[in-house]
Amino acid sequence: MNLSQLLLGQEAIIECVNDQDVYLKLLDLGCLPGARIRLTLIAPFGDPLAIQVAGSTLSLRRKDARSIQIRPI
Amino acid sequence: MPGSMHIALAGNPNSGKTTLFNALTGLSQKTGNFPGTTVEKKTGTISQKPKELIVTDLPGFYSMYPKGEDENVSVQAILGSLKKQHYDKIVFVADASNLKRSLLLCTQLVDLELPLVVALNMTDVAENKGIHIDADLLSRRLQVPVVKINARKSEGVKELVEEVKTRFPHPPTSYFPSNAEEKQIAEAVHKATGIKNYFANTLLARNTHLLGEEKASVQMLIAGLKFDPNAHQIDDSMERYARIEEILATVQKIDGEKAKRELSTKIDRILTHRVYGYLLFLLIFFSLFQAIFTLAEYPMTWIEQAFSWMSELVIHSLPPGIITNIVANGIIPGLGGVVVFLPQIMILFAFLTVLEDTGYMARVSFILDRLMRKLGLNGKSVVPLIGGMACAVASILTTRNIENKKERLITILVTPFMSCSARLPVYTVLISLIVDERYLFGFINIQGLLLLGMYLLGIIASLAFSFLLSFLIKQTEKNYFIMELPVYKWPVWRNIYYSMLNKSKDFVGEAGKVIVAVSIVLWFMGSYGPKADFERIEAKYARVQEKDSELNEASEKLEASYAGIFGKFIEPAIRPLGYDWKIGIALLSSLAAREVFVGTMSTLYSIGEDADMKTLKEKLQQATDSRTGKPVYTIPTALSLMVFYAFSLQCISTIAVTKRETGGWKWAIIQFVFMTVVAYLSSLIVYQALS
């Protein structure tokens, strides 16, 4: 399952990131595999999304969210 | 300066770095650019004994692995300092509410063996989130001095300065090459540069462009070695985070989490709502324009009157002659034309700073990303585009944080279509000529509404052209859009104040020089011409002694002057747009900068004016076409002129910035030619359709 399939308010654990550019950027932002995330916002018309991770809120496009594999909790 | 200590402020974006900078340096700050770039560089001084401190505010960055141009500048400054010892100390501003991420960059700086002091900021935000940090323990774990500060309230700033002045031993580095290749690379760079630090050398190996004369030899040495920079970044970051977690486990206590954090999320639910979100966005920008028109009106009138009065004073108190004439009719009206913008520029930057500082601007990017993407842009393009309403030059610089090259290029190309503050005075003067000051429903200023229309025209043009460009420019890389939505904060008044002050200084400094120079040249061109013609006119009027003859003589002289000859030369090309030769002169002189238009008009219509100085508006209203005798500024001409200014690229600084930011003349020339053609054709259509 990937991040774009998560429902609003649902929590999950990041398992891996398939896109290397996205992965490198997320590393800088402190969003690592194993991190606990929560989908907090969906922009009007469904894109982009915002997740809460490690104390900050990050916004990312649905397309990028698809490369992030997660395990819901 | 010898005998002073150089300090750099480094830290993540939104860590309160600039707020600290303002608290530290106050009125001593100056803005400029980092050498060879257009990234804004802010420096300021702190007077201290025995040495004064010179502080540089580096653009915010997340790690020593830069992802965008802005981050690149900071990384370059830091790595450059390793070789030349440019900074005596680095103040790392850590965000206590997000310590884990801050420490990534912090430990990287430690490993570069740079003299470091950590300013632990935003502890109040952290406390609200239920995060308690033991600053002393953190200092012991990092082996670096840590000072708790509250930049917003200027707390802990004195203590920070004391620590900055004190020398501390370097902490041991924690970085070691993880494999044989990395070690070989680092040693190769070490051989070439003499830098001993392993971490610095692996960073330099991935950024060989930072090296000077050693570049070629380093590239040769590492060419044969296998080195995967991405794998290196991943390994390095993961190891660092593992150690950071270990430090945080003892230093940071978290209780009852979330509680307050929900507030930001609740605000977000409203501000990014599909109805309220957009409504609020429109409302905020609508009030911005109303504020610019209504609030700025009084100070602008005062400034205009003050400069008229100064001209008069010069004429009456100095002996008549050429110098008096240049000062009263060339320099003072020209300067007045610059200073009169200041109220509008200040209001605009005050608004933009509030929107940025509160965190609202990031939400605007968030709700508009999908729409912007359809147009070939990016949610982050919204900031440069909106900023384009203040100044395209400054805004093109803010495109540096758009990682995607194609989206960044399109943003740069269409930003000058947005109506910048330099067009504002042109619009203001022309609107006031064709519409009276009236109110709709008693509170909506009609002039303001027309102004809003001009801004909408700019917005529509820039969006339409970016849509067009998105098909014409090839995508060269993958794009992603990941950004932080910072926690909502109250704006810091001091930040707004300094932003207004700095932008005004920049504007008067930059535009002022050009405008004053252009005004003087124009005044000469308007006052002198081929000798034979001037003598003929003087001879003609020497005989007549009627009322008004002086005025007629002056206007005939203007027509015969060099400026007049030039204006007449281009008149056939601009006649179809409804312009006369005087407007031709103004168009040409505003090639340097648009705002020169108003200054030029003031100068042109001052030549031959007698002592009774009127405001520019009155002068323009009375202007008549020397050919037809009808008023020049009819509604079609004024609208056509407004459209011309809306679309044309009359700004040397923008051309220069586009050239620099796109790495060559190609796009700068394309942009200039394209915008000029669009401007000419649209004005032609407007004038021909209306007259």
pLDDT of residue B544: 66
pLDDT of residue B461: 95
> Nearest CA of chain B to the CA of A25: how many Å?
7
Where are the extended beta strands (E) located within B325-481? 439-440, 444-445
Query: What's the average model confidence in pLDDT over B402-428?
Result: 87
- HSE (CB half, 13 Å, CA atoms) of B209? 5
Closest chain B residue to A9 measured between Cα atoms? B265
Name the residue range of residue A57's domain.
3-72
Q: Is B227's pLDDT higher than 80? A: no
Pairing state between β B116-121 and B89-95: parallel
User: Is residue B256 very low, low, confident or very high in pLDDT (cuts 50, 70, 90)?
Assistant: low
Residues spanned by CATH 3.40.50.300 within chain B?
4-165
Tell me the per-residue pLDDT of B14-66, one tens digit each, with 9 for 90 and over.
899 999 999 999 888 887 767 666 567 888 998 887 789 999 999 999 999 98
B268·A50 Cβ contact <8 A:
yes
Residues of A in contact with B125 (CB under 8 A): none
Name the packing angle between helices B549-560 and B531-543 (round to 10°): 170
Residue B571, both tokens: 């008149």
Between the CA of residue B398 and those of B370, B385, B408, what are the distances in Å? 20, 10, 10
User: Is residue B405 very low, low, confident or very high in pLDDT (cuts 50, 70, 90)?
Assistant: confident
Q: What percent of chain B stands above pLDDT 90?
A: 28
Separation of alpha carbons A51 and B15, rounded Å: 19
Q: B4-165 has which fold? A: Rossmann fold (3.40.50)
Q: For an interface test with B, give the residue of A8, A14, A61 to mutate (most B CBs within 10 A).
A: A61
By CB neighbour count within 10 A (0-12 exposed, 13-18 middle, 19+ buried), where does B27 fall?
exposed
Q: How far is CA B653 from the centre of its chain?
A: 11
Q: Is B626's pLDDT higher than 70? A: no
Q: Which residue in B56, B102, B62 sits closest to B80, CA to CA?
A: B56
Tell me the per-residue pLDDT of B1-10, one tens digit each, with 9 for 90 and over.
457 899 999 9
* CB-closest option in A29, A32, A54 to B62: A29
> Nearest CA of chain A to the CA of B192: how many Å?
29
Separation of alpha carbons B462 and B168, rounded Å: 53
| DSSP secondary structure letter of residue B615 | P
pLDDT of residue B502: 84
Query: What's the average model confidence in pLDDT over B211-226?
Result: 73
Residue B650, SS3?
Answer: coil
Separation of alpha carbons B156 and B161, rounded Å: 9
A47·B230 Cβ contact <8 A:
no
Tell me the per-residue pLDDT of B660-689, one tens digit each, with 9 for 90 and over.
788 788 999 999 999 999 999 999 999 999
* CB-closest option in B370, B481, B484 to A29: B484
A44·B367 Cβ contact <8 A:
yes
Q: What percent of chain B stands above pLDDT 70?
A: 90
Separation of alpha carbons B2 and B481, rounded Å: 44
pLDDT of residue B631: 79
pLDDT of residue B139: 94
Q: Is B608's pLDDT higher than 50? A: yes
Q: Is B613's pLDDT higher than 60? A: no
> Nearest CA of chain B to the CA of A71: how many Å?
20
CATH of the domain at A14: 2.30.30.90
Closest chain B residue to A32 measured between Cα atoms? B238
Separation of alpha carbons B201 and B194, rounded Å: 10
User: Is residue B623 very low, low, confident or very high in pLDDT (cuts 50, 70, 90)?
Assistant: confident
Q: Which residue in B247, B236, B180 sits closest to B64, CA to CA?
A: B236
pLDDT of residue B520: 78
Complex ipTM > 0.90? yes
Query: What's the average model confidence in pLDDT over B356-374?
Result: 89
Q: How far apart are the first and last CA of chain B?
A: 63
B480·A64 Cβ contact <8 A:
yes
A40·B265 Cβ contact <8 A:
yes
B366·A32 Cβ contact <8 A:
no
**B94 within 8 A of B11, measured Cβ to Cβ:** yes
Higher-confidence residue of B560 and B289: namely: B560
CB atoms near residue B383 (< 10 Å):
22
Higher-confidence residue of B477 and B577: namely: B577
Closest chain A residue to B274 measured between Cα atoms? A44
Q: Is B259's pLDDT higher than 60? A: no
User: Is residue B691 very low, low, confident or very high in pLDDT (cuts 50, 70, 90)?
Assistant: confident
Tell me the per-residue pLDDT of B475-512, one tens digit each, with 9 for 90 and over.
766 677 888 999 888 999 999 999 888 878 877 776 67
Residues of B in contact with A25 (CB under 8 A): 67, 403, 480, 482
B370·A47 Cβ contact <8 A:
yes
> What pTM, to 2 d.p., does this model score?
0.80
Angle ∠(B425,B427,B433) on CA atoms, nearest 5: 105
* CB-closest option in A26, A57, A61 to B485: A57
User: Is residue B293 very low, low, confident or very high in pLDDT (cuts 50, 70, 90)?
Assistant: low
Instruction: Look at chain A and report how many structural domains it folds into.
Output: 1
Q: For an interface test with B, give the residue of A41, A49, A62, A63 to mutate (most B CBs within 10 A).
A: A41
A45·B480 Cβ contact <8 A:
no
Separation of alpha carbons B201 and B196, rounded Å: 8
| DSSP secondary structure letter of residue B58 | P
Tell me the per-residue pLDDT of B430-453, one tens digit each, with 9 for 90 and over.
888 887 777 777 677 788 888 889
- HSE (CB half, 13 Å, CA atoms) of B428? 23
Closest chain A residue to B378 measured between Cα atoms? A61
Q: Is B136's pLDDT higher than 80? A: yes
Q: How far is CA B193 from the centre of its chain?
A: 36
pLDDT of residue B611: 40
Between the CA of residue A36 and those of A65, B484, B602, what are the distances in Å? 15, 17, 64
Higher-confidence residue of B554 and B99: namely: B99
Residues of A in contact with B365 (CB under 8 A): 59
Separation of alpha carbons A28 and B332, rounded Å: 53
